[in-house]
Chain A
Amino acid sequence: MAENKTSARNMRLMGMLRKEMWQIIRDPSSIAIAFVMPVVLLFMFGYGVSLDAKDIPVGIAVEQADIVTQSLSDSFEQSEFFKPSYYHSIQQAQQALEERKIDGIVWLRSNFSQNLQAGKQAPIEIIINGVDSNQANITMGYIQGVWQSWLIQFSSSRGIALNLPVNLEQRVWFNSALNSRLFLVPGVIAVIMTMIGSLLTAMVVAREWERGTMEALMVTPLSMKEMLAGKLIPYFILGMGSMFISVALAVWWFGVPLRGSFWVMVLVSSLFMMVSLLIGLLISIISKNQFVAGQTAIAASFLPAFLLSGFLFDINSMPTIIQGITYLIPARYFVAQLQTLFLAGNVWPVILSNAFALMVMLVVLAYWVSSKSRKTLE
């Protein structure tokens, strides 16, 4: 009898899985979301978005050109961060800044070389377009860097020992080239998995309500657990499939190092995928309508994964209230895990603490979903 029950249950579950598989295969949009979207997003963030400053257009206003100003200009010319253009007066340079041809001005007054050589104060004036404050800070820092290294070089070439009381020796860990792509790409993977887990799942379950197939399913011996399993399993596989594609692209195409264990990554991804799927199911059970489900999934999971997960914007620099909200965003924990696994390695305290947070979410969501999903139309 018990065996009969199991085989009956398996038959129903297999029926659901087979049906779901056919639907996925025949629906180009789910294939596109699972396999084309990751590639598009990865390339977009891998190439299109860069948080690094390179070839910053900067104007150098030299009021009186001579060998000293020439050597300073050369330093800018040689730096990979700058693309300098030259002006003979500060007015010209200011106009260029207003027209947004350049992002900053280095102003060398006419008495610059004279004062420098006489050992007097020889100030450089720097004007930065502060519209994008982040970019302005970066530009400012780089200009100072160029100026400082030029000064050391200039002094030593004259045999003058430059007396700087404190010297900065910097070491950048994990992403030594400070290449933003290396931390963006792992973050994109989290966004992709959120999308498949929540958005796609929310839509396909809501579709069953909308097309009236849910009513017919409910009046079969299919239990709600089997129904949920029938949805979770195929989309879990789909999500993990696109995770593998993304990781492969990240490592082999974008050259992101995978310093941690691959299997640990599979494990934490599965955990995150389950959380994401349950959010999707919850949304669809509550909304029962594809349009609303789609909107809700975007607002409740996709956008937060983008904005509040720390993948693009640093959580620590957010206002305290927003920081508090980020604790409710599962992608936050997953992004931290992925960035650690890719760039730093198996740093257990980070991985385990974040995994614990995801576990708690999983349990809460599982309870919520099962209490919401009864076999009733009400």
Chain B
Amino acid sequence: MSKVILTLSQVNKTFDSQDYQVKAIDDMSFAVKTGKVTGLIGPDGAGKTTLMRLACGILTPDSGDFEVMGIDVTKEPLQVQSQIGYMPQRFGLYEDLTVQENLDLYADLQNVAKDKRQARYDELMHMTGMSPFTGRLAGKLSGGMKQKLGLACTLIRSPKLLLLDEPTVGVDPVSRRELWEIVYRQVQEQGMSVLLSTAYLDEAERCDEVVLLHEGKLIMQGDPKEFSQTVNGRVFQVTVENSKHRSLQQKLSQNPAVLDALIEGEGVRLVMTEQSEPKAEVLLPEMVKANRKINITAVAPRFEDAFIARLKNKENSKEHSIAKIQVSGSADDEVIRVEDLTRKFGDFTAVNKINFHVKRGEIFGLLGANGAGKSTAFRMLCGLLPVSSGKVAVAGMDLRVATASARRKIGYMAQKFSLYTDLSVKQNLKFFSSAYGLRKKAQQDRIDWALETFELQEYQDTNAGNLPLGYKQRLSFAAALMHEPEILFLDEPTSGVDPLARREFWQRTNALAEMGVTILVTTHFMDEANYCDRLVIMSKGKILASGTPLDMKNLARTESQPDPSMEDAFIYLIQEKEQPDGRE
């Protein structure tokens, strides 16, 4: 077998959008090695999905050669398709078919001999832990199980090359680990080659090799560990005693010597613009003057550090500040109170007796995998869904019966892009501000503020539907802030947003919290929990644990795991508190 399973040479692919052309793949050349796990890494719109689709022959390149297993995929797509396995981002499971029927269908479609099937089914079901559920409709599986079934369906006929397009998006950490185990087993046992794309940068480190894409161009290819070494000596952890990590991060990121500052654990992780030993006097002069105990230690660089260092340039690394919002009341006021909140859909309990409260100016997180009940709880809080039992009070009132003026205190950003795609950025802002009663001068001022704060001037006359994803998210955020709300509800605000845009988003959110705005946020990104003051971890409608990020990590701290991540804590909680009954 040759050493290379997939080769691109000078491949180009352009898509026509309404007003402009998008160069999805721009003169790209590289090769993927046989028998390895290769990761396609890059922010949204980097061309990862297009590349996958080109590789399996369902898109045709404009120019250049694309060979898969030595076959020209443009000329002989069927030949390639009969030897590869491809799992698209939204895998084609038939939700009205059972697990077994889905397996049978894909076995038929891939011409797996009938007498060989049962053994393979057993193996795959065992590997994915789904043996007890073969009779269940695929639509009734949890997100993680669906993903594992999708993978099982593509693996029925052990393909030589496995293509996975963002296989772990929205999947809970436990299922994510399992998916990776399955993939590596295929590589080790069958010598399969794997090309997968991912938006999770921690997953990049698990690959044998990574291919870094940005805006349709190849940035680099190589060993992820070597790539991380490129920022060697530029990564530090800073902690200051008795200092809020949020304000610390704000101070640090304003420093010109700092390229990136990220809240991590109890401190701030820094990536410096160049290799140099940072001095406390330079970074935090006021704190040194105030005789605070400052601790700066060099840490081993991670893939994400190198990734950010590579993509972040001076132009987009400027501070994303936010203009002041006036918030009344003291910091100890309890703004949100939830007591025994329950929601049932038929005989299914989506949210089961949850309790928590949020103080003014706090960032409070609801963490959990897809289907844990976060969004249901969230919608009850916003008054979008009636409660089955229990109490909800937001700023002392029940939003379902609150008056319009009371609702003015609330800002809401929905999970899906919920602005008018056929209206321009400006028209959307105008509409949302007038919905909250802003008129004339006040309205114009607010629109100008939004365009400036969120750097939308360039796009103000573009239809919202044609905006790049990151800008859509900014616009949604801006629309939620038009009326200067005191309480912000953010439902999965960073879902599908690349790491750079996520940083930007959190910078603005932090700034809002510093002004006293109370923020309730749901997320399935475990590392984002670090931005929260307090959080709850949800699973199956229940709260597994609540407290500060540090409390959570302390739960999972053991001798073998002295410095657990949020994800470790989550996995620990799931395994500790739940009976293994299929992880629905």
| CB pair A219 B56 closer than 8 Å | yes
B86: min CB distance to chain A, Å: 4
Known: A15-B108, A22-B97, A375-B77. 11 other contacts (CB 8 A): A12-B109, A16-B108, A19-B94, A22-B101, A215-B58, A216-B91, A217-B92, A221-B82, A375-B58, A376-B57, A377-B58
If A23-B96, A375-B57 touch, whether A220 touches B88 (CB-CB below 8 Å) is no
**CB-CB under 8 A for A23 and B94, given A15-B104, A220-B109:** yes
CA gap between A216 and B101 in the complex, in Å: 15
Q: Which residues 1-38 of A sit at the B interface, judged by CB distance below 8 A?
A: 8, 11-12, 14-16, 18-19, 22-23, 26-27
Q: Mark A223-246, 1 if CB is under 8 A from B, else 0.
A: 100000000000000000000000
**Do the beta carbons of B86 and A378 come within 8 Å of each other?**
no
**Interface CB pairs A-B, < 8 A, 10:** A22-B97, A26-B97, A212-B90, A216-B86, A216-B153, A217-B109, A221-B82, A221-B110, A221-B111, A376-B59
Contact A215 B92, beta carbon cutoff 8 Å: yes
Determine if B442 is an interface residue (Cβ-Cβ < 8 Å).
Answer: no
Which residues of chain B are near A377, meaning CB under 8 Å?
Answer: 53, 58-59
Tell me, in angstroms, the Cα distance from A208 to B59 when the chains sit together.
Answer: 18
Q: Is B380 an interface residue (CB 8 A)?
A: no
Given A219-B58, A221-B82, A221-B110, A211 contacting B104 (CB threshold 8 A): no
A258 part of interface (Cβ distance < 8 Å): no
Known: A19-B101, A219-B58, A222-B109. A212 touches B88 (CB 8 A): yes
* Residues of B65-87 whose CB lies within 8 A of A: 77-78, 81-82, 84, 86-87
Q: Which residues of A contact B104 (CB under 8 A)?
A: 15, 18
- Say how far B146's CB is from chain A's closest CB, in angstroms: 12
In the A-B complex, the 7 residue pairs with the smallest Cβ-Cβ separation, listed nearest first, are: A15-B108, A216-B92, A213-B92, A212-B90, A219-B86, A220-B109, A221-B82
- The verdict on B60 contacting chain A, using a C-beta distance below 8 Å, is yes
How many angstroms from the CA of A238 to the CA of B206 in the assembled complex? 50
Task: Choose among B53, B90, B101, B109 the residue with the greatest number of A CB atoms under 10 Å from its CB.
Answer: B109
Residues of B within 8 A of A221 (CB): 78, 81-82, 109-111
A residues in contact with B111, CB < 8 Å? 8, 11-12, 221
* Interface 1/0 per residue, A55-82 and B, CB below 8 Å: 0000000000000000000000000000
Decide yes or no whether B95 CB sits under 8 A from chain A.
yes
Q: What are the residues of chain B within 8 A of A18 when measuring CB–CB?
A: 101, 104-105, 108
Contact, CB under 8 Å: B94 / A213: yes
Report chain A residues within 8 Å CB of B471: none
B-to-A contact residues, CB < 8 Å: 53, 56-60, 77-78, 81-82, 84, 86-97, 101, 104-111, 153
- Say yes or no for A214: interface residue by CB 8 A criterion: yes
Give the shortest distance, in Å, between A70 (CB) and chain B (any CB): 70
Chain A residues closer than 8 Å to B97, beta-carbon distance: 19, 22-23, 26
Complex Cα distance, B81 from A223, in Å, reads 10
Looking at B57, B77, B94, the one whose CB has the most chain A CB atoms below 10 A away is: B94
Contacts of B90 in A (CB 8 A): 211-212, 215
**Which B residues are CB-close (under 8 A) to A26?**
96-97
Query: Would you call the interface of chain B mostly helix, strand, loop, or mixed?
Result: loop
Are A16 and B109 neighbours in the complex by a CB distance under 8 Å? yes
Among B92, B101, B106, B108, which residue has its beta carbon within 8 angstroms of that of A212?
Answer: B92
Instruction: Identify which of A11, A212, A213, A215 gathers the most chain B CB atoms within 10 Å of its CB.
Output: A215
Complex: A16 Cα to B77 Cα, angstroms? 20
Cα-based distance from A12 to B57 in the complex (angstroms): 19
- A344 interface hit (Cβ, 8 Å): no
Chain B residues, CB < 8 A from A375: 57-58, 77-78, 81
- Do B96 and A376 touch (CB < 8 A)? no
- Min Cβ gap A360→B in Å is 32
Judge whether A218 is part of the interface by a CB distance below 8 angstroms.
Answer: yes
Neighbouring A residues of B82 by C-beta, 8 Å: 221
> CA A194 – CA B347 in complex, angstroms?
40
Map CB proximity to B onto A341-378 as digits: 1 under 8 Å, 0 otherwise.
00000000000000000000000000000000001111
Could you tell me the distance in whole angstroms from the C-beta of A14 to the nearest C-beta in chain B? 6
Nearest A residue (CB) for B113:
A11
Determine how close the nearest CB of chain A comes to the CB of B545; give it in whole angstroms. 35
Q: Which of B81, B91, B94, B96 contacts A220 (CB under 8 A)? A: B81
Pairwise interchain contact B58-A220, C-beta atoms closer than 8 A: no
Q: Which residues of A contact B105 (CB under 8 A)?
A: 15-16, 18-19
Residue of A with least CB distance to B114: A11
Closest to A9 in B: B111
CB <8 Å contact, B108 and A219: no
In the complex, A253→B481 CA distance in Å?
65
Taking a contact as CB atoms under 8 Å apart, the answer to whether A212 and B59 are in contact is: no
What chain B residues lie within 8 Å of A11 (beta carbons)? 108, 111
Nearest CB of chain A from residue B473's CB, rounded to whole Å: 23
Instruction: Tell me how far the C-beta of B148 lies from the nearest C-beta in chain A, rounded to whole angstroms.
Output: 15
Q: Which of A211, A217, A378 contacts B95 (CB 8 A)?
A: A211
CB closest residue in chain A, given B92: A216
Neighbouring B residues of A212 by C-beta, 8 Å? 88-92
In the complex, are the beta carbons of A219 and B94 less than 8 A apart?
A: no
What are the residues of chain B within 8 A of A223 when measuring CB–CB?
Answer: 78
In the complex, the answer to whether B96 meets A211 with C-beta atoms within 8 Å is: no
The residues of A that contact B109 with a CB separation of less than 8 Å are: 12, 15-16, 217, 220-222
Cα separation A15 to B106 with both chains bound (whole Å): 8
Whether B84 contacts A219 by the Cβ 8 Å rule is yes
With A22-B101, A211-B92, A212-B91 as contacts: A218 and B58 at CB distance below 8 Å: yes
Q: Which residues of A contact B84 (CB under 8 A)?
A: 219
Chain B residues near A19: list those with CB within 8 A. 94, 97, 101, 105
Distance from A278 Cβ to chain B, minimum over Cβ atoms (Å): 23
A19 to B105, CA, bound (A): 7
Which residues of chain A come closer than 8 Å to B89, judged between CB atoms? Answer: 212
Residues of A within 8 A of B81 (CB): 218-221, 375
Task: State how many angstroms separate the Cβ of A378 from the closest Cβ of chain B.
Answer: 6
Tell me, in angstroms, the Cα distance from A8 to B110 when the chains sit together: 9
Interface centre among A220, A221, A375 (most CB of B within 10 A): A220
List the A residue with the shortest CB-CB distance to B93: A213
* Nearest CB in chain B to that of A14: its residue: B108
Q: A211-B92, A375-B77 are in contact. Are A15 and B60 (CB under 8 A)?
A: no
Within the assembled complex, what's the spacing in Å between the Cα atoms of A76 and B101? 69
Chain A residues near B93 (CB, 8 Å)?
Answer: 213
- Nearest to B109 among chain A residues (CB) is A220
Distance from A373 Cβ to chain B, minimum over Cβ atoms (Å) = 13
Taking the closest CB of chain B, its distance from the CB of A11, in whole angstroms, is: 5
Of A15, A219, A378, chain B has the most CB atoms within 10 Å of the CB of: A219
Q: Which residues from A are CB-within-8-Å of B87?
A: 216
Shortest C-beta distance, A209 to chain B (Å), equals: 10
The reply to whether A376 and B60 contact each other, CB–CB distance below 8 Å, is yes
How distant is B50 from chain A, measured CB to nearest CB, in Å?
10
Least distance between A254 CB and chain B CB atoms (Å): 36
